[in-house]
A and B are shown apart, each in its own frame.
Chain A
Amino acid sequence: MVDRRSILKLGAAGVAGALVGMPLPVLGAARAGVSGTLFRAVFDGRFEEAVAFAGELRRRGVVTASAGPDLATLWYGDLQARLRRERAPIAGLTDRATLFCLEELARSVGMRVAFRIDHLIDDRGRVEHDPVGPAAILAAARTLPAESGFGREIAVLASRFDWRQRRDAAALKRTGPFSPENKTALVSWAIA
């Protein structure tokens, strides 16, 4: 069977005539600063590191959310309404497809990726970290364990990140949604 889904695998009470006229919630102020509290931690429950990431942030009082099989539930059912009213930072440890979608969606509320650290895990459990973002992130990534245990450390990093610092475009749109099959590809990220 060939349809759009298949294609993407390669690479993606009546109101009876009355004008409803109710605008959707006003978008968050485009240039207002992002508040300093992490609003959501998004994780992919299929991966131990992501579960550890979420557990640590939950322990620190951050509300966590599973990415789930359809990211629409998270964005349109949860994040969009709040972020349209007021922007607030979110962080995650997910697969690349989740970050890819959230990055595209975040443009509509004037938010962008502040940092990302790609983690490629081989079949022996060795992890290669590839950070992009502010100097503090690059430095911190150098200390991440090259095996299991990095998820919790990423959580600590995200909880301490200074959301007010000036950001550039380096971390934006680094890759598409696809991941190699011979390695587990995860990505830690923050959008603000």
Chain B
Amino acid sequence: MVLPPNVSEADFSAALGEFRSAVGADWVFSSDADVALYRDSYSIYWGEPEERVASAAVAPATVEEVQQVVRIANKYRIPLYPISTGRNLTYGGSAPTLRGSLVVDLKRMNRILAVDEKRHFALVEPGVSYFDLYNHIRERNLEVMLDVPDPGWGSPVGNSLDHGVGYTTAPFRDHFGSHCGMEVVTAEGEIIRTGTGAVPNSDNWQDFHYGAGPTIDGLFAQSNFGIVTKMGFWLMPMPEAYLTGTVTVPRYQDFDPLIHEVSYWEDLGLIGMPDYGSPIGGGFFAPPPAALAALMASGWPSIDALERFVGVEARPAWSVRLHFYGPEETVRANWQAAKRRFSGAIPGAAFQDGEFLRLPIPPEQEPTLPDKPRLGIPSLEVFAMVARNPSTANDPADGHADFFAMIPRKASAVWEAARVMFETYREMDTPAPYNPFSTPINYYSRCFIMAAVVPTWRDPARNSRSRELFARIMDRCAERGWGCYRTAPAFQDQLARTYSFNNNALLRFREKLKDSIDPNGILSPGRYGIWPASMRNTRA
């Protein structure tokens, strides 16, 4: 058994006894086999002394039991690490940030407290998964659509608190951005409700998120200031229709006006997450086509060389797939309007009509859908799709750690980011899945993401190399002013240091809050670089 830091075996044993009294003996897990279930399947420290493993786990069923768990933890100075479903793989999964923490598994708090199809919101507990909520909505034919991540086995609460994202229109695919109201158990065991939930007898907790005075909801995301036990979410009214269309543009330098035009549609809130691509570039994970590889043999090509290359290839340089949600008349009209605007902005722009679907999707049609998450339907298909791994075909990784460089929505930033990633991989003698036609992800509507996906293994030597690559990517991106929006616990200290303006004033402010809100430092020590005072000098 791994003990919590600075806690004796006798005290830990006594604490486990009190946890059993609080939540029931069946819901305290301390055997090696039970605790092993909480290991992070994608850990980049798998099997090493630094692997973030739990000391034990406890599964409260009510907010009152959560309060008791917190009070016992304070008494014995036991670090807690709350999880909802614990399936945010690549970001730590069910494993704690600090080795020896006690996982607070909120899986039993799985009540769907409200779904309102007229005011378009839901109120749920942390153990509710996207599948649970989706099935609840579908079984009752409620006229609301979820925005789901992919895979969809996580929970709305956990995913949004980790700043997770989905695929529909901007207000909904930012999952934390679409929350409205939360209930939190503080480190001292007190219950707070935010927004209008703080007004006794309020019946619009999920309608108005600000309340009055400073909003504090953000303090509980990617942090360690409280345990969220309820959370409200705004839902999309069920659109009548879904329509897609693809735009292609002929020249390399058409990328910038393409982005500009897509941003127009995005920022008006008229489309879901756009899918950028390049018919000529070979795709994100595939090796570049032979002709492109030859062009890159002597280094990163110039814009002129790339423009000539595109001309010879005689295929469109870039593409983007647009997704429209709404009444049939408007999605069709918007696609027609998009064609007009893209044609006017980019000579040679071409168009391909895509899918048209009436919503909601009948249950019997769901299995045939090529991309369920786009329609708010949670899925695990992604795992079947990835059973074969094209990047390490005959030597597959066991998992991956993801880095997301947040870059401006403009072609020059995409090209620079692709080049920086490419060069960083090459410095490490690692095949680089980037070329001048690499495209960004647009999870967050106002920002592009250039992703780096670093393999993780059950092999310490290979993990060591992956860690070095990951850390180097983060440093190279930080040098150019590109932050990252979330990462695995192994890199959260480094990530926090990249947000270093004015001598790390942001982190120091967070540390002051931590010391005040959680004086014993029991909640998720080290999460996103925020360590309690007792550990600060030795850990961060």
Contacts and interface: CB of A to CB of B under 8 A. Distances in A.
Contact of A10 (B29, B380, B391, B439): B391
Given A7-B402, A12-B90, A178 B27 contact: no
A67 B380 CA distance: 11
Interface string A62-84: 00000001111101100000000
A97 interface: yes
Given A104-B41, A173-B36, A20 B115 contact: yes
5 contacts: A2-B440, A8-B382, A8-B400, A12-B89, A108-B107
A150 to B, nearest CB: 20
Given A76-B131, A168-B33, 13 more contacts: A1-B277, A2-B275, A5-B371, A10-B390, A10-B433, A11-B456, A14-B116, A15-B142, A20-B111, A23-B110, A95-B384, A98-B384, A169-B33
Interface stretch (B2-10, B147-155, B209-217): B147-155
Contacts of A136: none
A14 B142 CA distance: 6
A177 interface: yes
Interface string A146-173: 0000000000000000000001110011
Interface of A: 1-24, 27, 29-32, 69-73, 75-76, 95-98, 100-101, 104-105, 107-108, 112, 167-169, 172-183
Given A172-B37, A180-B393, A6 B285 contact: yes
B168 interface: no
Contacts of A175: 398, 458
A129 B136 CA distance: 42
Contacts of B142: 13-15
B25 interface: yes
Contacts of B108: 27
B112 A20 contact: yes
Contacts of B38: 107
B394 A71 contact: no
Interface residues of B, number: 95
Contacts of A13: 117, 140-142
Interface string B402-419: 100000000000000000
Nearest to B140: A13
Nearest to B404: A7
Interface of B: 25-27, 29, 32-34, 36-39, 41-42, 59, 85-87, 89-90, 94, 107-108, 110-119, 123, 128, 131-132, 135-136, 140-143, 149-153, 167, 203, 273, 275-277, 283-285, 319, 321, 367, 371-373, 378-400, 402, 433, 439-441, 451, 453, 455-456, 458
B116 A16 contact: yes
B118 A14 contact: yes
B37 A11 contact: no
Contact of A22 (B107, B112, B116, B372): B112
A27 B111 CA distance: 12
A72 B380 contact: yes
Given A12-B151, A22-B112, A97 B131 contact: no
B32 A104 contact: no
B284 A6 contact: yes
B151 A100 contact: no
Contact of B453 (A10, A16, A19, A98): A10
Contacts of B319: 1
Contacts of A4: 149-150, 373, 382
Contacts of A172: 33, 36-37, 39
Contact of A101 (B59, B135, B380, B393): B380
A108 B29 CA distance: 13
B39 A173 contact: yes
Contacts of B458: 174-175
Residue picked from A9, A23, A98, most chain B C-beta under 10 Å: A9
B131 A72 contact: yes
Nearest to A80: B131
Contacts of A22: 111-112
Contact of A15 (B111, B116, B153): B116
A181 to B, nearest CB: 4
A3 B33 contact: no
A181 B381 CA distance: 19
Contacts of A21: 111, 113
Which are the 6 A-B pairs with shortest beta-carbon distances?
A: A11-B400, A178-B396, A176-B398, A169-B36, A1-B275, A14-B117
A97 B111 contact: no
A7 B36 CA distance: 27
B276 A12 contact: no
B384 A10 contact: no
Contacts of A180: 393-396
A21 B230 CA distance: 12
